[in-house]
């Protein structure tokens, strides 16, 4: 079968790789109908060697598909089910899974990040025709019937990572009715964080980025104000909306030293800053704890336990209250995966996120 393979910094290729097989009784084999390229895959593309990725590693942690085969011990997932695979593999039964923190599963790991897999291998990437899913009962989520047709894949694929990650950021920020909320970052997670904020009836959602085409999508998804930070700062908008007090909640979809220091300046006393995003592995934000102390700031966030949020998000997708599909701006055959990476890493005009279709 075909799959995307890391071949050293700067190179992702479409290669012929071995078909996955059932290795343990809890496994399932999923035929991928749609896979996503994630912003964090670009970190692998550019810095994979520093993260310990070997040449030949198979990439991809966002995929939806149809179950082709299950191991003898799988109970809740059956052949033919349309499933969504959260990017983190989890048992569903350990101390942390039962608390809803599936990303801290005691025997968990992630697809397409082999170096993060502590227990057994190999777990391969989802940007491929088929994937082996360990602990299928704990990991996979059955897609609701009304969204199960492949024609809904653009709505369902963001449920593997970017929509629940955005929702996690909004929940951690504790957005409440009447709040003035700032979202920093106009990638898929930032755009969907602005979208998810609308569930909580804020006064304003100020989306900050530097791609006018993406900011336009953010406005369509629910941002009340957009700021192109290459042309303007957000300070004036925040001050105007908050009577000079500062933002109630700031969501960092890009968590860099610069965005954290911006947030700490712009948050009002008693406010919350939440952060998601993998920039912390490239240079962690310095948190000025003295300011956090004096302003009583709550800092919250981290890697999103996607599986935990799916049950509350599915009905919002089914009703149309949330529709994350506008962030999937491109859909290419899997065989053109290298081009898909080029579209994303060059931030091609009009691009946010690329989907790959193995069946095309
Ligand atoms: Zn992702
Ligand atoms: Zn677990």
109: Cα separation from own chain's centroid: 16
Distance CA 321, CA 160 (A): 18
Do 72 and 171 lie in a common domain? no
Residue 110: pLDDT band (50, 70, 90) is: confident
* pLDDT digit string, tens, across residues 289-321: 999 999 999 999 999 999 999 999 999 999 999
97: Cα separation from own chain's centroid: 19
Q: How far is the CA of 305 from the centre of ligand 1 (A)?
A: 12
- CATH code: domain of residue 314: 3.90.180.10
- Asked if the model's pLDDT at residue 282 lies above 80, the reply is no
Rounded to an integer, the average pLDDT of 5-13 is 95
Residue 287: pLDDT band (50, 70, 90) is: confident
Contacts of 198 (CB under 8 A, 6+ apart): 205, 221, 222
Q: How far is the CA of 161 from the centre of ligand 1 (A)?
A: 5
Do 95 and 168 lie in a common domain? no
Which structural domain, as residue segments, surrounds residue 317?
A: 2-160+305-357
Ligand nearest to the backbone CA of 98: 2
Do 222 and 319 lie in a common domain? no
Distance CA 12, CA 57 (A): 10
Q: How far is the CA of 249 from the centre of ligand 2 (A)?
A: 31
- Asked if the model's pLDDT at residue 103 lies above 90, the reply is yes
Q: How far is the CA of 272 from the centre of ligand 1 (A)?
A: 24
Determine the 3-state secondary structure of 241 from DSSP: helix
Do 14 and 60 lie in a common domain? yes
- Asked if the model's pLDDT at residue 63 lies above 60, the reply is yes
Rounded to an integer, the average pLDDT of 39-59 is 90
Ligand nearest to the backbone CA of 93: 2
Q: How far is the CA of 103 from the centre of ligand 2 (A)?
A: 8
Do 19 and 110 lie in a common domain? yes
Ligand nearest to the backbone CA of 109: 2
Residue 208: pLDDT band (50, 70, 90) is: very high
* pLDDT digit string, tens, across residues 64-87: 999 999 999 999 999 999 999 999
The pLDDT assigned to 83 comes to 98
- Asked if the model's pLDDT at residue 112 lies above 90, the reply is no
The pLDDT assigned to 275 comes to 95
Exposure letters 3-31 (e unless 16+ CB within 10 A, then b): bbbbeeeeebebeebeebebeeebbbbbb
Q: How far is the CA of 94 from the centre of ligand 2 (A)?
A: 4
Residue 52: pLDDT band (50, 70, 90) is: confident
Q: Which of 81-90, 117-126, 347-356 has the lowest mean pLDDT?
A: 117-126
Ligand nearest to the backbone CA of 108: 2
Q: How far is the CA of 272 from the centre of ligand 2 (A)?
A: 29
Do 73 and 209 lie in a common domain? no
Rounded to an integer, the average pLDDT of 243-271 is 95
Ligand nearest to the backbone CA of 87: 1
Do 140 and 219 lie in a common domain? no
Q: Mean pLDDT of all residues in the chain?
A: 94
45: Cα separation from own chain's centroid: 17
Distance CA 135, CA 123 (A): 11
Q: Burial of 221 by CB count in 10 Å (0-12 exposed, 13-18 middle, 19+ buried)?
A: buried
Do 214 and 293 lie in a common domain? yes
Ligand nearest to the backbone CA of 111: 1
Residue 73 neighbours by CB distance under 10 Å: 12
Do 194 and 101 lie in a common domain? no
Residue 104 neighbours by CB distance under 10 Å: 17
The pLDDT assigned to 53 comes to 87
Last-in-domain residue among 253, 282, 301: 301
Do 352 and 218 lie in a common domain? no
Contact 267, 292 (CB under 8 A): no
Q: How many domains does the chain have?
A: 2
Do 138 and 198 lie in a common domain? no
Distance CA 275, CA 286 (A): 13
Q: How far is the CA of 93 from the centre of ligand 1 (A)?
A: 24
Distance CA 66, CA 48 (A): 30
């Amino acid at each position: 079968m075909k799959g995307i393979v890391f071949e050293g910094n700067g190179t992702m290729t479409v290669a012929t790789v071995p078909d996955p097989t059932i290795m343990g009784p809890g496994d399932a084999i999923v035929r991928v109908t749609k896979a996503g390229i994630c912003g964090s895959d670009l970190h692998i593309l550019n810095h994979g060697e520093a993260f310990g990725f070997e040449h030949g590693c198979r990439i991809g942690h966002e995929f939806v598909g149809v179950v082709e085969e299950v191991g003898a011990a799988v109970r809740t997932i059956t052949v033919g089910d349309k499933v969504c695979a959260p990017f983190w593999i989890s048992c569903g039964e350990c101390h942390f899974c039962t608390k809803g923190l599936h990303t801290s599963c005691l025997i968990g790991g992630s697809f397409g990040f082999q170096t993060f897999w502590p227990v057994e291998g190999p777990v391969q990437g989802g940007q491929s025709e088929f994937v082996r899913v360990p602990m299928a009962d704990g990991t996979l989520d059955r897609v609701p019937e009304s969204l199960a047709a492949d024609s809904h894949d653009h709505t369902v694929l963001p449920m593997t990572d970017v929509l629940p990650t955005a929702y996690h950021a909004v929940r951690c920020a504790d957005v409440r009715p009447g709040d003035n909320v700032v979202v920093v970052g106009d990638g898929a997670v930032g755009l969907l964080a602005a979208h998810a904020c609308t569930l909580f009836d804020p006064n304003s959602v100020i989306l900050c980025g530097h791609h006018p085409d993406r900011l336009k999508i953010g406005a369509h998804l629910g941002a009340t104000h957009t700021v192109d930070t290459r042309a303007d700062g957000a300070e004036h908008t925040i001050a105007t909306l908050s009577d000079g007090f500062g933002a109630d909640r700031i969501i960092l979809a890009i968590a860099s030293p610069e965005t954290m220091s911006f947030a700490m300046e712009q948050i009002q006393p008693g406010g919350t800053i939440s952060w998601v995003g993998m920039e912390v592995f490239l240079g962690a934000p310095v948190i000025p704890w003295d300011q956090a102390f004096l302003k009583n700031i709550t800092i919250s966030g981290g890697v999103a336990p996607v599986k935990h949020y799916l049950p509350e998000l599915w009905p919002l997708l089914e009703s149309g209250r949330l529709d994350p599909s506008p962030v999937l701006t491109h859909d290419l055959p899997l065989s053109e995966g290298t081009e898909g990476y080029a579209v994303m890493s060059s931030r091609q005009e009009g691009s946010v996120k690329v989907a790959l279709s193995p069946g095309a």
